[in-house]
Amino acid sequence: MIPIELPRASGIRPLHFTILTASLVVLTLAYMAYVGARWSGYWRGEIIWTADRTEVAVSVNDQDLLVPASLMRSQMAKIALSNGRERLANLKLAAIWPTMTAARSAQHLTSADLKRGSNLVLIDITANQGAETMRDRLETVYRRLARGPETDGPAGLKVLTLSSPVALELDQVVFEPNRANGFIARCKAAQGTNAVCHRAASADGDLAVSYRFERGLLSSWGRLDRRVNDLVEAFRQ
């Protein structure tokens, strides 16, 4: 017969076990609160607005820029600047069309507002890698993937639809016709949301500029493109 031996006691005191259990409960509640805040929009980790209108000196790919702090939307960039590290790989900004000024903190805007009706413009300034542009891919890629001929779009633009009629996400390329380096953007929209367009605005010198906006702003695509480029040029020292 195999002898039966009860497991030995762990030696942990009851008080220590109670403290450990309470700590796990606190951590669980904190995590649940964090997840709930992210879903409700009260935790705005990506776009954290500041009322500070002072300009801060930053460097992107060795290009010195002087940027209003109120336009910066990246929390990591603000932490880096507060620690005295001014070199950024990606400078993330947000502005309100058509003034191209910062949003008020009371508006509680997040990137999700791009899909719910917004005049928010999200701008990214990165190093120019010399990669193929969207315009370069118009004839070689987009026209071959298109589900039919080009159609008329807003304000003189043409539209190529890449997604199938039964796709869950609409995928279109809108472009300025008859101009080699003309305007071009790619717009996508899931069912029940407004289309968000991505535009690689320019890649001159050491910097590449791209921005995202709602499709409704395509009616002013020319002015929008100029305002974004003018805004970035104003940052150069």
pLDDT per residue as tens, the chain (237 positions): 566 665 666 666 666 667 778 788 878 877 776 555 444 444 444 444 455 567 888 889 888 899 988 888 765 555 556 555 567 888 989 999 999 998 765 344 556 667 777 899 999 999 988 888 899 999 999 999 999 999 999 999 999 999 999 999 999 999 999 998 899 999 999 877 889 999 998 766 789 999 999 999 999 999 999 999 999 999 986
Secondary structure of residue 220 in the 3-state scheme: helix
Residue 17 belongs to a domain: no
Residue 12 belongs to a domain: no
Cβ atoms of 138 and 184 within 8 Å: the answer is yes
Task: State residue 25's pLDDT score.
Answer: 80
Helices and strands, counts by H and E, the chain: 5, 11
Q: Structural domain of residue 70, as residue ranges?
A: 55-235
User: Into how many domains does the chain fold?
Assistant: 1
Residue 8 belongs to a domain: no
Residue 38 belongs to a domain: no
Residue 92 belongs to a domain: yes
Residue 16 belongs to a domain: no
**Edge-to-edge strand ranges of the sheet holding 87-88:** 63-68, 55-60, 87-88
Residue 19 belongs to a domain: no
Residue 33 belongs to a domain: no
Of the CA atoms within 13 Å of residue 44, those in its CB half-sphere come to: 17
CA distance 221 to 27: 48
CA distance 103 to 120: 8
Cβ atoms of 209 and 235 within 8 Å: the answer is no
